[in-house]
C-alpha cells in the first residue's frame, strides 16, 4: 500500500482555484447528487463541507427545490469563484457561502438536516477532526453523506487513474489529482474513523475505482 503523503490543506492560490474550477467535474458531481438524493429525501438545511467553487451545491439546488445550503471552505480564491458560479446560476437566495475551517465550525450542534462533503477529507492532516464536526452538526435522524478519493495500492494504479481521469488535463491539473490520490485514505482507515464515532464500518463502501462513500443516519 502506498504511504499517505499529505498535500496542502488549503488550495488557495488563484491558479489552483481556476484550474480546479475548469476541470470537468460535471459527471462526478451529478452522480454525487443523484446518490445523495437516493439516500436522503432532499429537504431542509444542508451543510456542504469543503465546497470548493460551489459546484455541488449548485447541482443539488438544481435537482431539489426544497434545500437551502450553507457551503463552507477555507480557501478564499475558491470561494470567490464559487460566489460567481452561484450568482450566474441565480441561486444566491438558496446557497450561502462562508469561509470557515472544517475542523472548527462555529454552528450549534445538530444544526443541519444533512451534512455532505465531496473530497475534503483527504486534505485534512488529522481527518478525525472533520469527521467529528460533521457528526456533531447533523440533526438527530439526519443524513451524513461523504465521498472522497481512495488511496491506490501502488504507483502503477495511481498513474493509471491519473491517465484515465486527467489525461486530457493540463500538467498542473494532473499534478493536483495525483497529489490528492496520494493524500487520500484507504477504505480500512475510513471505516476505523467512523466506527470510533459509533457508526458501522459497512456504512463506508467503495463506490468507484477511485472513491469511497460514507452514507449514514444519525
Residue 163 has pLDDT above 70, yes or no: yes
State how far the Cα of 48 lies from the Cα of 54, in Å rounded to an integer. 9
Which tens digit of pLDDT belongs to each residue from 187-210? 999 999 999 999 999 999 999 999
State how far the Cα of 19 lies from the Cα of 61, in Å rounded to an integer. 24
What is the average pLDDT value for the chain, to the nearest integer? 95
Q: What is the pLDDT of residue 179?
A: 96
Q: pLDDT-based confidence at 24, cuts 50/70/90?
A: low
Residue 165 has pLDDT above 90, yes or no: yes
Which tens digit of pLDDT belongs to each residue from 123-148? 999 999 999 999 999 999 999 999 99
Residue 21 has pLDDT above 80, yes or no: no
Residue 11 CA, distance from chain mean position: 14
Domain boundaries, the chain: 14-217
Q: Which fold has domain 14-217?
A: Rossmann fold (3.40.50)
Residue 12 CA, distance from chain mean position: 16
Q: pLDDT-based confidence at 181, cuts 50/70/90?
A: very high
Amino acid at each position: 500500500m502506498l504511504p499517505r503523503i499529505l498535500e496542502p490543506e488549503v488550495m488557495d492560490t488563484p491558479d489552483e482555484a481556476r484550474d480546479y474550477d475548469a476541470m470537468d467535474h460535471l459527471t462526478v458531481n451529478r452522480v454525487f447528487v443523484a446518490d445523495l438524493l437516493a439516500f436522503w429525501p432532499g429537504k431542509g438545511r444542508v451543510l456542504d463541507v469543503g465546497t470548493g467553487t460551489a459546484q455541488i451545491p449548485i447541482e443539488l439546488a438544481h435537482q431539489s427545490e426544497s434545500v437551502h445550503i450553507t457551503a463552507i471552505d477555507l480557501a478564499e480564491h475558491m470561494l470567490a469563484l464559487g460566489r460567481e458560479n452561484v450568482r450566474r446560476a441565480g441561486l444566491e437566495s438558496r446557497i450561502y457561502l462562508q469561509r470557515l475551517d472544517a475542523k472548527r465550525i462555529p454552528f450549534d450542534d445538530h444544526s443541519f438536516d444533512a451534512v455532505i462533503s465531496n473530497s475534503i477529507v483527504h486534505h485534512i492532516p488529522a481527518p478525525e477532526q472533520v469527521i467529528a464536526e460533521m457528526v456533531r452538526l447533523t440533526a438527530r435522524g439526519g443524513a451524513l453523506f461523504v465521498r472522497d478519493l481512495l488511496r491506490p495500492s501502488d504507483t502503477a494504479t495511481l498513474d493509471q487513474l491519473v491517465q484515465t481521469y486527467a489525461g486530457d488535463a493540463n500538467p498542473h491539473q494532473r499534478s493536483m489529482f495525483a497529489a490528492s490520490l496520494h493524500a487520500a485514505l484507504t477504505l480500512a482507515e475510513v471505516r476505523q474513523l467512523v466506527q470510533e464515532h459509533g457508526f458501522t464500518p459497512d456504512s463506508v463502501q467503495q463506490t468507484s475505482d477511485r472513491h469511497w462513500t460514507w452514507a449514514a443516519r444519525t
